[in-house]
Homo-oligomer: A and B are copies of this chain.
Amino acid sequence: MSETKIYKPKQISGFPEWLPEYRAVELGWMDKIRSVFERYGFCNIETPSVEEVDALLAKGGETEKEIYTLTRLQEDAHDKDSRLALHFDLTVPMARYVAQRFNDLVFPFKRYQIQKSWRGERPQKGRFREFYQCDIDVVNVDGLPLHFDAELPAVMFEAYQALDIPPVEMHISNRKIIVGYLQGLGVKDIAFVTRELDKLDKIGVEKVTKILTDHLGDAALAEKCLAVVQIKNDFAAKTRALGVKNDLLEEGLRELDFVMDNLQHLPKGSVIADLGIIRGLDYYTGTVIEVRFKDKPLSIGGGGRYDNLAGSFISQKLPGIGVSIGLTRLFAMLLDEGYIKPAAKCPTQVLVVLPSEERRTEAAAAAQTLRRRGFNVELFHSDTKIKKQLSYAEKKGIPYVWFPPFEDGQPHEVKNMADGKQSAADPSVWKI
Contacts and interface: CB of A to CB of B under 8 A. Distances in A.
A247 B47 CA distance: 52
B39 A371 contact: yes
Contact of A44 (B24, B51, B378): B24
A378 B108 CA distance: 12
B120 A12 contact: no
A41 B376 contact: yes
A49 B312 contact: no
Contact of A100 (B6, B11, B86): B11
A406 interface: no
Interface stretch (A52-60, A194-202, A223-231): A52-60
A431 interface: no
A99 to B, nearest CB: 6
A392 interface: yes
Interface in A135-149: 145, 147-148
Interface stretch (A13-21, A214-222, A237-245, A416-424): A13-21
A341 interface: no
A392 to B, nearest CB: 7
Interface residues of A, number: 104
A20 B53 CA distance: 25
Contact of A49 (B58, B130, B351): B130
Contacts of A120: 70, 72-73, 79
Interface string A381-407: 110000000001001101000000000
A64 B69 contact: no
Contacts of A8: 313
Given A19-B104, A49-B116, A64-B74, 4 more contacts: A6-B314, A7-B54, A20-B43, A265-B364
14 contacts: A1-B311, A9-B99, A12-B52, A16-B48, A40-B376, A41-B346, A41-B377, A43-B347, A48-B130, A49-B49, A49-B116, A70-B70, A70-B71, A262-B360
